[in-house]
Structure 1
Amino acid sequence: MLFINTRPQDRAEKLSHALRMAHVPVLDLPLLELVARPWSEPLSKLYPQLFSAQVIVVVSPTAVQVGMDYLKQAGMRLDQLQHIQWIAVGETTEQALANYGIAAKVPLVETSEGMLQLPILKSMNAGTCIAFWRGEGGRPLMMEQLKQQGMHILNFILYERRCPVLTQQKLPDILPLLEQQHQYAMVVSSEASWLNWIKLMQGQDAIIAKGYYFVLGERLYQVVSDYKKNQQACFNIARLPDLKTDSILQQLIVVQGNT
């Protein structure tokens, strides 16, 4: 079964290599590209407020990179933030923070829901200042729930998410390949990547129907399920607990055993 690796280009290599070593054909087709936003006056006003924050939630390795670059731009040093507890959405982001000497808390499930279950967030008092290093449109559910609990949110929008231009350019060559497949598997790791896929496949209902979508987390599973129901589409969905290579390989083995 063909596997479509939709992860951003800088995070796709390990998974693609492992799949190919397991003799699984892979099509690298990133559905998200993360582009840093320029340094701006709003960011210059936000950064000094980190001195009053108790927690920084970091949602991706890109957020780590851009956030640290702009920390320097703001004339601040990392050692001035030793009072802060860092939270990383997953192991890759945790490692990116570790490269700066930061030990971060990581949820068991790499989703907003998983992060909200972390004891440190569940024990916070109303009025606690929590900063988010994120991309445009990322983690709105988590931020809204914390606001409703009375938390003070610092919203750092550090980058934008878009469908890669190269992916759009490759589409005419990819469609014939997908038309030849009886079925294919694909990881859906965010709502933005799912919406980009649907936009790319506009008018290609037969190709969408061939997909076996490995979906990260309960909320995203519901988003894809709602699309299936509303469009009266016919495709398969399976939940992923995380984006670890072993988890994806195990799910692929299950699917291939059932087809």
Structure 2
Amino acid sequence: MVSLTDQAIAILLLTLRVVPAFGFSPPFTLLRVPAIVRILLSIALSAWMAAANPQHTWQSDFRQNGIAAAAIGELVLGIGLALALQFAFAALLTVGRSLDIQAGFGLAVLVDPTTRGQMPLVGTLFAYAAAAIFFAGDGLADMLAIWAASIEAVPLGTAAVTGDLGGLLGYLSAVFVIACGLGGSIMVALFLADMAIAFMSRTLPQMNVLLLGFQVKALVTLALLPAATGLSGALFVRLLRTALEAAPHLVTAR
């Protein structure tokens, strides 16, 4: 009876390590899945990991510092693992928003049906392209491997934040540089279009530069966006790989 109770408590605690990714982190939030399904999936994965690693889960001394402290530690660890993907997709949305403003789509936003939040037009395309690559490749298998490896590296009830600010800043700079590479060609083309229109306005003062600029930059963006997205598959993979590799380094054991 005690064993069953320990297993149940361990599974619920491990759920706090898994559920932040399914509930708050892209690409999982880009899919419109009911909350109860996300919770049940998290519990099922936690039960699988607890059954596969009994020494590091329900057989460990996770009650040493109290159930509440263990729950807080597991939640912090789960948030740390989910933040890696959050930052990667935030970089894509930020670059997409910059392209929207540069191309004249600053007022064009999309409503995310899952989070009910507003998302930039180009950034949404980048985010869904990254999500498609994540699910089509080894993204899910890598996430399962990270969760399973985290149990061995950080047994149940021993989670803590590393406080490695330098590593976090390095990761943030890396994902934003990669995201800028995805939209860099479009940014350069829009800058050249702005320069050309500026020179034309000097020679033809009577021309409506504002109206022409919107039309030209919109055409340039629509023409280059499919090509830039299609030719940037390696950058998408590199961005996701950087996020998955950085996730285990954000947390450690006490």
TM-score by shorter chain over 0.5: no
Q: TM-score scaled by structure 2? A: 0.24
Q: Higher RCO, 1 or 2 (CA under 8 Å, sep at least 6)?
A: 2
Structure (1 or 2) with the greater helix fraction: 2
Structure (1 or 2) with the greater strand fraction: 1
